[in-house]
Amino acid sequence: MSIEPRAQVAPERVLPAPVPMAPETAAQQRVVHRICARVAPPGTDVGVAELPPGGLQVWIDTPAPVGGPESWVLHHRMAREVALVGWHCEADADRLLVLGWSAACLHNRVRLLQSGLRRLADFDPTAQRAVQLDGRGPEDLAALSIGQVVADVCASIERRLRWPARLAELDGFERSSGLAHLQLLLAQVIGLEAKVAAACEEHLVMARVLAGAVCEHYARHSDLRRAQREVLAESRHWVHASSLIRSSAAARPGSTGAGRPHMGLAERRIAASVINHGGPRVIPATVAPRAGHAGLGEGAR
């Protein structure tokens, strides 16, 4: 009897393994998710995934479908916040597309950072809020420790500054570009962000010092209004020291009068303790003449 030859069994098809995400794309995905999660309403999940042609796509991931107008508004709000980092974004009612770096968006971020530095040069609002202890009264100071009061005041001022939270969203993300002009813009942005972060830290240091001083004054005198008034008066000497420096610099011969664009908190405190702030030296009008030489007044007679 004849036996049919055994058919050849086709080898099992092996599906290609998923291509791992590039480290820079994964870092960008984390940053975009932080920003969009901050913008989204509480209880709303945000999905972020890689876009096959390049870039990222963001969508609202909720069990119940989100209405068209509400979804459109939310995606455009996310697009605005993500574009403030420097990326080009496109949004509609279904999703948000995050593409490559945009020169226009990076220029806008430079302007925002420069404007933030100018506002952070004024320490008066922070001093006022710090001595007010975030609205706490004597009964609150009796129930809380000094450390807790100071921590709450610093947290409140940090929320008002807004920049610390926004810069924290970029932690661990190295920004670069293959285009020279975009790389220069990114370098400018990173440098300005470092200055803004340092200025915000100085505001928080001031808040910590002033809030602690108010608590200590209150513990000695049991008069909160007096403690706030005295601490605020002491702080004004070095809060306004930069204006003294700029006015004295303008009086120097050959000076442009521009002054320093930003003075740190430590520089202000040092400047406030210096008697002569760089003004021109005044020579006394009455000088005793040397022997053998007639004075100017005698020769004119």
- Cα 20 from chain centre: 34
Q: Helix, strand or coil for residue 197?
A: helix
Q: What is the pTM of this model?
A: 0.73
- Residue 131 makes CB contacts below 8 A (sequence gap 6+) with 210, 211, 214, 228, 231, 232, 235
- pLDDT (0 to 100) of residue 285: 44
Beta carbons within 10 angstroms of residue 263's beta carbon = 20
In the numeric block, which tokens belong to residue 256? 């442009």
Q: Is the dihedral of CA 79, 80, 82, 88 positive or negative?
A: positive
Q: Of 271, 206, 204, which is closest to residue 242 (Cα–Cα)?
A: 271
- pLDDT (0 to 100) of residue 42: 84
Give per-residue pLDDT as tens, 199-250. 999 999 999 999 999 999 998 888 999 999 999 988 887 666 645 544 444 4
- pLDDT (0 to 100) of residue 66: 57
- pLDDT (0 to 100) of residue 300: 38
pLDDT < 70 regions, the chain: 1-21, 63-68, 238-301
Distance CA 119, CA 88 (A): 27
Q: Which helix (H) or strand (E) holds 273?
A: none
In the numeric block, which tokens belong to residue 76? 């455009």
